[in-house]
Amino acid sequence: MTIDTASAAASPLPSYLERIRRFPAIRDRNDIEVIEATPWTSLELPDSTLELIQISARRRPDATALRFVMDATAQQQGQRYTYAEFLARVVQAANAFHRLGVDADDVVSFLLPSLPQTHFTLWGGEAAGVVNPINPMLEPEHIAGIMNAAGTRVLVALAPFPGSDIWDKVEAIKDRVPSLEKVLYVDAARFLGDDEARALRERLPLPDAADWCEDFDRCLDRAPADRLINERRIHPEERASLFHTGGTTGLPKLAPHSHANEVANAAMMQMLFRHREDAVILCGLPLFHVNAVLITGLVPLMIGAEILLATPGGFRSPGLVDNFWSLVERHRVSFFSAVPAIFSRLLEVPFGDAEVSSLESALSGGAPLPRAVHGHFEELTGISLIEGFGMTEGTCGSMANPLAGERRTGSVGLALPYTGARVVALDDQGRYLHDCAVNEIGTLLIRGPNVFDGYSRPEQNRDIWVEDGWFNTGDLARQDADGYLWITGRAKDLIIRGGHNIDPQMIEDALYRHPAVQMAAAVGKPCERVGELPVAYVSLQPNRQVNEDDLLSHCQAHLAEKAAIPKNIWILDSIPLTAVGKVFKPALRQDAVTRVYGEIANAELGPGVARITACQDATLGLVAEIRVPGDVDLSSLKARLEAFPIPCRWRQAS
């Protein structure tokens, strides 16, 4: 396969982008029906992510594909890659991986922050074989477990660098993954000044040359940039990536995406956002997450727009949030995506004299967006803040509030074009009973060209399909009369902390290792900053004594994922159970809401003034009912609780 960008200057808009451009802006379900009247196959989307990038490079070779900013506080324009340069580096990565033994079904894993080399690894890995992004903040044993489940042949990882322990983890796991044949290290010091880079490498030398590792960029430099040396023709149904999803206990759960899945989801998101080709799309989320890879990665690459890679750590980097508005002004950013906690933090950052009129819209996902944050952010910036819903099993996005229509705060919006979404009633065995009525709570199902075809391990696919091709998301939802979907709970019980999924089982397993614990259950408690924080409830073995501090110390010692360490562990006489002896977690979630809101009410109104009970509402899901005397001023309490994701129902005596 030869890569040609030479004749690109006058290339017309490809047919799929021309069709998307002519579709109506989405205001309501009627516009989606108009779009879906065009058969999906007639869009003639690219067969692969590589072909998608190739088309953009042929059409806009000299336009900026990627700009990397090492330091958010610096005034430099950053490292720029044109589309021709970006494609060349992706092809070199694919060829380098192929020379290291990677064929269509072989896996390239990576442990990297957000660097240009991360993009080259992503798309080059998909062009050569299958790419497997891994969260580098996981502990070594879990990283090794994911790599063994994936069958990793090549690993790309960050070389020793200040503030990073990635290379220490590589050293710890390299002999624990039998399929691993080569590690390529990325030297991020190349993005520093010469003197700073030289001083850094004197303190932290690069790994010694060895059979098992070598420099990533030097390896790419030796590979052709104008063709795939394996002459591979990628078919849409072939596997492109393996994303880890769910918790970190037991066998890792890997969700495969085909090239067709990824290209389809990029097209769907463009139908929603309608970015122009001169857009600048800021990526601040980590590139091991589907949101960063698809929404602020493949979507701009599809339309020939610019990706602004905002520091290696993205929103985790010191200084990025504090300097966000000046960064928007300097680079004329038009769009970014983040989790609710980031929008909440940005509300605390003054604009100063920054001119941010280039910013048009933003996407919030990963956790419920508090109503107060949504309203205040739109008022402050004047942009459209879109709340949506997605999951790794749906490649990334499946529904969102319409950019050109009514945005209903608290709703995840309408199903994207060509994505099916239903709310259904299931029996105790997960079998379909009937579709739910308007505003009736049931289980959310999705189907479409973006939905994967099952986890990599067949035994993990039991009960995930309801009828033909409908994936059971495990989320509870309702759909209103206009088609807007509202998530009301999670049947899967995942705790979502600022967009990060925490498996409660890992917390429970750790607590069960304590000799005093008889039963343990972990749930999320509401948090105004990150949506949910993990907490746990335990009952004790007869005649055993232990306190909360002892149990918290135990969790700190036995939980590899630090984000999963509970913020509280409450000891009960007994854990609530269902009639068949299962832990009844809805009662625990209600108790957690009552405790959190009660503590705030006591602080604002005085001890015992408000009576708070949490309950399940048929329409709203989990709510907090707050009863107060008629002569109490509720303004301060309402202001505090508006920032939390669980809505309140106020009862004030007359």
580 — pLDDT class (breaks 50, 70, 90): very low
Residue with more model confidence, 250 or 46: 46
| Rg of the chain in Å (alpha carbons) | 25
249 — pLDDT class (breaks 50, 70, 90): very low
User: In sequence order, which residues have a C-beta less than 8 Å from that of residue 563 and are 6 or more positions away?
Assistant: 497, 500, 502, 534
pTM of the model as a whole: 0.82
Is the confidence at residue 308, as pLDDT, over 80?
yes
Distance CA 398, CA 32 (A): 13
- pLDDT tens column, 437-448: 999 989 999 999
420 — pLDDT class (breaks 50, 70, 90): very high
The position carrying tokens 């063994």 is 148
Whether the CB-CB separation of 429 and 457 falls below 8 Å is answered with: no
The CATH fold of domain 420-490: Luciferase; domain 3 (2.30.38)
pLDDT of residue 246: 62
What stretches of 528-647 adopt beta strand conformation (E)? 531-540, 568-571, 611-617, 621-628
Distance CA 263, CA 380 (A): 34
Please tell me the CATH code under which domain 15-415 is placed.
Answer: 3.40.50.12780
- pLDDT tens column, 317-375: 878 999 999 999 999 999 999 988 788 889 888 888 889 999 999 999 877 787 778 88
Same fold, 420-490 and 495-583: no
Q: Can you give the residue ranges of every domain in the chain?
A: 15-415, 420-490, 495-583, 587-652
Cα distances (Å, whole numbers) of residue 26 to 38, 178, 287, 410? 15, 50, 28, 19
Whether the CB-CB separation of 141 and 167 falls below 8 Å is answered with: no
User: In sequence order, which residues have a C-beta less than 8 Å from that of residue 370 and are 6 or more positions away?
Assistant: 340, 344, 528, 531, 642, 643, 644, 645
- pLDDT tens column, 447-468: 999 999 999 999 999 889 998 8
Distance CA 47, CA 310 (A): 30
Distance CA 497, CA 312 (A): 21
What is the architecture of the domain spanning 495-583?
A: 2-Layer Sandwich (3.30)
